[in-house]
Chains A and B, each alone.
Chain A
């Protein structure tokens, strides 16, 4: 069956990509010349015991090939080494960071998907009208802004009204659950809005061009010839097909979301994975940077894979 073929192909591709990503990660951080970076055990200020343990765990005295095999083994067990700055296992630190990042990113992305799609579809439907020009201009405007700068602008505008950084107010003493939720939400507004607005431009433009493409198809012409009302044509015939590229974009923008969240989290000191990347770069915390990079890459690969499968489910014509 061709469908099964497609799924198998995509699965193999995803798995190979994971392997490539893991290998790139090893080569960049361990096999690259430059002793300080390649040595996982040189945790500044660590006890000799910890160093010896890392030496042993990762086989750092062995050849690069052996190290590679050991690295794969340790990775399978979720061992990513020890952070240079906190001396805690990188995996634990990353877990904490991801838990903080997900809600912030989710809020922004959902905002972008909902509003971007609506304005994009409207713009295509009302092509060459004020609605179209206004939404394309707005979308292009947000699309052109440097992410971190948009964040800074929101910060300037909201100064004094919304918290400027962090995830919770550290001076909120013994808050009730409701208070805590409100506090977190207040902190989340600005970073999520930044991500949402930047993505919004992209979703609008993609939804619009997808919709335009669909509206040009023969079956739309047929529907029109049948005398169906405009609204029905758009809702029942065009919208469904136009949503295909938008669905793919949802997964594809993962890569952007990842990069955007690094910048956004730096602006708002949001203690997530992006902030972890930033401080790892600043403090030369190589194991942490390595772990964060791997995590980001794998999540992008994973979402691409999901997109492929989803697309196949939505559009059975695809089976190359």
Chain B
């Protein structure tokens, strides 16, 4: 975004090379909530992977009355088609997490490419790439996603692409700032004077330094992607043949679960989304904190908080 906001999020001073384990244990020690977040996230991943084996009923199987309330055999009741809610949530986890992870992968690849190229080469490459990034940062993503998804037609792959291709700006900015500082370090200069190629320097010396930051960023982006998926689904832009958490919320809303008093059709999917987003936020923050030594000194402990996923991707 604007120069004003160049908060240089998460620029790390000379980060000492520590083992991954030491790094993680420090992140957990400083922010114990992140361990809980990780546990919750892994639980959801496990559920998503095992959905076909552990879901009590079929995801399209009518097992009782419309909006039957929670009971012993259906812990969270039934939806407007008489389908078991627990089953739906498990299958929903599959699609929601798939969207979250794949869209994030796309955005990290694009953002990483742009950020590293801009930061590493500097000069006019940097100027051009960052200008483009700036424009993308200002134009609100969700309306743009809505427009593209509406024209392109609802399908899971379209949604993943739309979200992935519009979420890379923040990653690009963060990584660029970091690469710019890594590039100036003595060992990189030495490698260059020894005749190492750009590709080699980037892969051998720059990437390992920015990898932790990339991981922190990835985790935060997953939350945004899942959030955006629920938003698109809520506006009727979800893949009609796929059950996601967003789709379950949308479906219950359209089928007037509220006026029917069927809270069980609407409360649980939202809690699932919120739990995943909260977990990702906690993990991402803990990683960012552990990366930034400044934060360990109490009175310096402040950082640009990542502004709400949905549109403003700036710190």
Contacts and interface: CB of A to CB of B under 8 A. Distances in A.
Given A146-B270, A153-B267, A259 B143 contact: yes
Range, interface on chain B: 35 or more
B2 interface: yes
A312 B4 CA distance: 8
B305 A205 contact: yes
Contacts of A144: 223, 274-275, 277-278, 281
B206 interface: no
Greatest chain A CB density within 10 A among B237, B281, B308, B311 is at B308
A82 interface: no
B234 A263 contact: yes
A254 B308 CA distance: 11
Greatest chain B CB density within 10 A among A159, A215, A248, A282 is at A248
B291 interface: no
A258 B142 contact: yes
Q: At the interface, is chain B mostly helix, strand, loop or mixed?
A: helix
A155 interface: yes
B13 interface: no
Contact of A266 (B227, B234, B261): B234
A194 B78 CA distance: 27
A209 B303 contact: yes
B2 A281 contact: no
B253 A267 contact: yes
Given A152-B270, A216-B299, A143 B151 contact: no
B307 interface: yes
B231 A147 contact: yes
A256 B308 contact: yes
Contacts of A131: none
Interface string A16-44: 11001100100011001010010000000
A166 to B, nearest CB: 14
Contacts of A91: none
B144 interface: yes
B39 interface: no
Interface in A236-283: 245, 248-249, 252-256, 258-260, 262-263, 266-267, 277-278, 280-282
Contact of A255 (B3, B269, B305, B311): B311
A148 interface: yes
Contacts of B269: 149
Contacts of A311: 4
Given A146-B227, A148-B231, A248 B4 contact: yes
B307 to A, nearest CB: 6
B163 interface: no
Contact of B258 (A156, A211, A214, A296): A156
A286 B71 CA distance: 45
A173 to B, nearest CB: 24
B166 to A, nearest CB: 12
B302 A212 contact: yes
A148 B274 contact: no
Contacts of B234: 148, 263, 266
A278 B93 CA distance: 25
B5 interface: yes
Interface stretch (A70-78, A92-100, A297-305): A297-305
Given A152-B270, A209-B302, A282-B236, A258 B143 contact: yes
A16 B258 CA distance: 45
Contacts of B282: 140
Nearest to B270: A149
A263 B310 CA distance: 12
B147 A28 contact: yes
Interface in B105-142: 134-135, 138-142
A197 B237 CA distance: 25
Contact of B140 (A147, A208, A258): A258
A20 B135 contact: yes
Given A28-B151, A153-B267, A318-B3, A255 B146 contact: no
A164 B258 contact: yes
A252 B311 CA distance: 9
A281 B302 contact: no
Given A152-B253, A159-B258, A206 B135 contact: no
Nearest to A214: B302
A320 interface: yes
A49 to B, nearest CB: 28
A34 B139 CA distance: 24
Contacts of A278: 235-236
Contacts of B138: 17, 300-301, 304
Interface string A132-163: 00000000110111111110110110010000
Interface string B253-266: 10000110101001
B148 interface: yes
A44 to B, nearest CB: 17
Interface of B: 1-5, 134-135, 138-144, 146-148, 150-151, 223, 227, 230-231, 234-237, 246, 249, 253, 258-259, 261, 263, 266-267, 269-270, 273-275, 277-278, 281-282, 299-305, 307-308, 310-312, 314
Given A20-B139, A297-B143, A308-B2, 11 more contacts: A143-B308, A144-B274, A144-B275, A146-B231, A146-B277, A149-B230, A164-B258, A206-B305, A212-B302, A256-B310, A256-B312
21 contacts: A13-B2, A13-B134, A29-B151, A141-B278, A145-B274, A146-B230, A146-B273, A155-B258, A205-B305, A209-B302, A209-B305, A216-B301, A253-B312, A262-B142, A262-B146, A266-B234, A280-B150, A281-B236, A290-B147, A308-B2, A308-B4
